[in-house]
């Protein structure tokens, strides 16, 4: 029953996302391609807003973090050093009869194939590496194999000294990066929750060994605060601590921030104490000295790294799920104004008496600062509903009173309360309410 309801909510969200232009199935006219999605006009705005808010809180509001945008394709040795060539894999089995593929840890191998019912039909377990391989240059041989990065972090580690020197940074400091990552997941699903191509927002914070635990606690707290700033319901968020047997090979401690989706509690962000593993390995494989020189203590050492790693697409899904609200007469996305794709809609009550002209003038005045939408099609009620579904926090309506006293109606999305505001005051009114 619970699973059925979960599917229903997700189905409704997927349908709203398509109808309103947030997210489309990739290559839809060709029947689609599994687990790949395209962001439409509203989706692209919302994703951009999420990335900007992350960047603002991680880079602009601090003085100890610098930005980076590293290449997706990297030297193949990076992935040997990182452990991804040897260890970034899931166990896989195939049914020899129906050819269905399973994750070996998600199916009972002693039982018949759950799809075709045949006994003893499973192949041996094989380790399936999740990295996408491709070839660089015109010759397709093993000497030219390169990988699409499965995480953005390695681009940060290999640039540790470049960024430190260029930005003249001393420990502790961080490097932040937003970019695409690719994983050939065996079991993608739940809409954009787990896909094979996705975007990550990662920050690696370099600290002195011995100070790592303190900074780990600090970043746990900071990152949880960020989700509150995104407007997510607090009771839907929690930490999950990795037990010793769950810890990745590089981690001394790991906490996930989890959200309660309609399909259960799931990770949205990982916070890891990666110790000196990454820089030590890159030092070993590259032969370059990646130690840090502390000019106060005159010591040389490899910094520890505290990582915060979150999926941008997964955050967007979380915000949509959290905002999706069904009320008696309407469906409304109660998105935080900072991430809402359209900040305000300007609506002439009727298409005459000069109302459209006044409305268009208001749009022109606001356009440079905000994503604004003009709509004069259909009844005012229908137009409000469309904006509710798009998560637009404010609707500005030009009506007959406007013609008399230059005031407009501003309707707030969640409360549906209306206020009269002078046309000259609309920009200030929005500025005050749209600040992140
Ligand atoms: N296939 C994916 N699709 C979308 N986002 C992803 C995917 N894999 C990872 N992420 C995002 O990147 C973040 C950090 O990646 P990390 O390697 O810690 O994930 P993970 O533990 O492998 O995730 P999971 O267990 O969900 O596969 C995740 O918290 C998630 O938000």
Give residue-wise pLDDT tens across range 66-111: 999 999 999 999 999 999 998 888 888 899 999 888 888 888 999 9
Any domain includes 29: no
* Same domain? 148 vs 268: yes
CA gap 423, 40 in Å, rounded: 31
Report the separation in Å between the CA atom of 275 and the middle of ligand 1, taken as the mean of its atom positions.
20
CA gap 17, 60 in Å, rounded: 31
Bigger pLDDT: 104 vs 149: 149
Per-residue pLDDT band for 285 (boundaries 50, 70, 90) equals very high
Per the structure, the count of domains in the chain is: 3
Is 355 annotated in some ligand binding site?
no
CATH number of the domain encompassing residue 311: 3.30.930.10
Torsion sign over Cα 216, 218, 221, 222: negative
Question: For residue 241, what are the contacts with CB-CB under 8 A and spacing of at least 6?
Answer: 253, 254, 255
Q: Where are the beta strands (DSSP E) in 40-149?
A: 65-68, 89-94, 101-103, 126-129, 133-135, 145-147
- Rg of the chain over Cα atoms, rounded to whole angstroms, equals 25
Report the separation in Å between the CA atom of 311 and the middle of ligand 1, taken as the mean of its atom positions.
6
Tens-digit pLDDT profile for residues 15-36:
999 999 999 999 999 999 999 9
CA gap 176, 54 in Å, rounded: 10
* Same domain? 145 vs 280: yes
- Model pLDDT, residue 62: 97
Say whether pLDDT at 386 is over 60: yes
Any domain includes 309: yes
Average pLDDT over residues 403-417: 97
* Same domain? 264 vs 374: no
CA gap 402, 405 in Å, rounded: 5
Say whether pLDDT at 270 is over 60: yes
* Same domain? 75 vs 101: no
Report the separation in Å between the CA atom of 302 and the middle of ligand 1, taken as the mean of its atom positions.
27
Is 402 annotated in some ligand binding site?
no
CA gap 124, 271 in Å, rounded: 35
* Same domain? 369 vs 393: yes
Is 306 annotated in some ligand binding site?
no
Any domain includes 1: no
Q: Whose CA is nearest to atom 24 of ligand 1?
A: 267
- Model pLDDT, residue 89: 85
- Model pLDDT, residue 23: 98
Percent share of the chain, pLDDT over 70: 99
CATH number of the domain encompassing residue 356: 3.40.50.800
Say whether pLDDT at 419 is over 90: yes
In testing the pocket of ligand 1, which one of 151, 267, 271 has its CB within 8 Å of the most ligand atoms?
A: 267
Q: Whose CA is nearest to atom 18 of ligand 1?
A: 270
Tens-digit pLDDT profile for residues 247-266:
888 899 999 999 999 999 99
Any domain includes 400: yes
Alpha helices for 230-353 (secondary structure H) = 277-286, 312-323
Say whether pLDDT at 117 is over 60: yes
Percent share of the chain, pLDDT over 90: 88
Q: Whose CA is nearest to atom 6 of ligand 1?
A: 311
* Same domain? 198 vs 159: yes
Is 311 annotated in some ligand binding site?
yes
Give the position, in ligand 1's atom list, of the atom nearest the Cα of 248.
21
Task: Enter the ipTM.
Answer: 0.97
Per-residue pLDDT band for 4 (boundaries 50, 70, 90) equals low
Per-residue pLDDT band for 209 (boundaries 50, 70, 90) equals very high
Q: Which structural domain range is residue 108 located in?
A: 89-129
Say whether pLDDT at 161 is over 70: yes
Chain mean position to CA 264 = 18
User: Pick from 321, 350, 381: which residue ends a domain?
Assistant: 321
Is residue 380 within 8 Å of residue 361, measured between CB atoms?
Answer: no
Q: Whose CA is nearest to atom 10 of ligand 1?
A: 311
* Same domain? 63 vs 78: yes
Any domain includes 27: no
Is 385 annotated in some ligand binding site?
no
- Model pLDDT, residue 2: 61
Any domain includes 303: yes
DSSP, collapsed to helix, strand or coil, labels residue 65 as strand
Report the separation in Å between the CA atom of 189 and the middle of ligand 1, taken as the mean of its atom positions.
12
* Same domain? 195 vs 218: yes
- Model pLDDT, residue 156: 98
DSSP, collapsed to helix, strand or coil, labels residue 267 as strand
Average pLDDT over residues 219-241: 97
CA distances from 406 to 348, 355, 398, 419, 431 (A): 13, 11, 9, 13, 20
Any domain includes 283: yes
Give the position, in ligand 1's atom list, of the atom nearest the Cα of 193.
4
- Model pLDDT, residue 3: 65
Residues with CB under 6 A from ligand 1: 151, 183, 185, 194-195, 198, 200, 267-270, 309-311, 313-314
- Model pLDDT, residue 188: 87
Bridge partners, residue 257, by sequence? 239, 269
DSSP, collapsed to helix, strand or coil, labels residue 261 as strand
Per-residue pLDDT band for 436 (boundaries 50, 70, 90) equals low
Any domain includes 269: yes
* Same domain? 311 vs 410: no
Query: In terms of C-beta density within 10 A (0-12 exposed, 13-18 middle, 19 or more buried), how is residue 222 classed?
Result: middle
* Same domain? 206 vs 231: yes
User: Pick from 321, 350, 373: which residue ends a domain?
Assistant: 321
Bigger pLDDT: 429 vs 89: 429
Average pLDDT over residues 141-162: 95
Give the position, in ligand 1's atom list, of the atom nearest the Cα of 267.
29
* Same domain? 45 vs 120: no
* Same domain? 204 vs 266: yes
Say whether pLDDT at 1 is over 60: no
């Amino acid at each position: 029953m619970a699973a059925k309801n979960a599917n229903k909510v997700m189905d409704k969200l997927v349908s709203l996302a398509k109808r309103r232009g947030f997210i489309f199935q990739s290559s839809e006219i060709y029947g689609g391609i599994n687990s790949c999605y395209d962001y439409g006009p509203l989706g692209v705005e919302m994703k951009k807003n999420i990335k900007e808010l992350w960047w603002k809180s991680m880079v602009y509001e601090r003085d100890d973090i610098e930005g980076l945008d590293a290449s997706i394709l990297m030297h193949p040795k990076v992935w040997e050093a990182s452990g991804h060539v040897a260890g970034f894999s899931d166990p896989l089995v195939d049914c020899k009869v129906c050819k269905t593929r399973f994750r070996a840890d998600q199916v009972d191998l002693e039982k018949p194939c759950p799809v075709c019912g045949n006994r003893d039909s499973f192949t041996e377990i094989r380790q399936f590496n999740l990295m996408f391989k491709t070839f660089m240059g015109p010759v397709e041989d093993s000497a030219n194999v390169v990988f699409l990065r499965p995480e953005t972090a390695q681009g940060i580690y290999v640039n540790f000294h470049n960024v430190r020197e260029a930005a003249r940074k001393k420990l502790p400091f961080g490097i932040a990066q937003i970019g695409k990552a690719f994983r050939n997941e065996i079991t993608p699903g739940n809409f954009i929750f787990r896909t094979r191509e996705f975007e990550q927002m990662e920050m690696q914070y370099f600290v002195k060994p011995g100070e790592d635990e303190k900074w780990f606690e600090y970043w746990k707290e900071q990152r949880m605060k960020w989700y509150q700033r995104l407007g997510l319901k607090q009771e839907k968020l929690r930490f999950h601590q990795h037990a010793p047997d769950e810890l990745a090979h590089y981690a001394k401690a790991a906490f996930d921030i989890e959200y309660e989706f309609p399909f259960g509690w799931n990770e949205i962000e990982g916070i890891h104490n990666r110790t000196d593993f990454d820089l030590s390995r890159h030092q070993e494989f590259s032969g370059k000295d990646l130690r840090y020189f502390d000019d106060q203590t005159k010591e040389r050492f490899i910094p520890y790294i505290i990582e915060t790693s979150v999926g941008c697409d997964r955050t967007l899904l979380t915000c949509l799920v959290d905002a999706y609200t069904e009320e008696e007469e309407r469906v409304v996305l109660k998105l935080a104004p900072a991430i809402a794709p359209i900040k305000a809609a300007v609506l002439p009550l009727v298409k005459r008496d000069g109302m459209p002209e006044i409305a268009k003038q208001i749009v022109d005045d606001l356009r440079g600062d905000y994503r604004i939408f003009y709509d004069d099609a259909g009844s005012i009620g229908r137009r409000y509903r469309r904006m509710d579904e798009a998560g637009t926090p404010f609707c500005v309506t030009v009506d007959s009173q406007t013609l008399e006293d230059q005031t407009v109606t501003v309707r707030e999305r969640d409360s549906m309360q209306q206020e009269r505001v002078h046309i000259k005051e609309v920009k200030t009114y929005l500025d005050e309410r749209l600040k992140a």
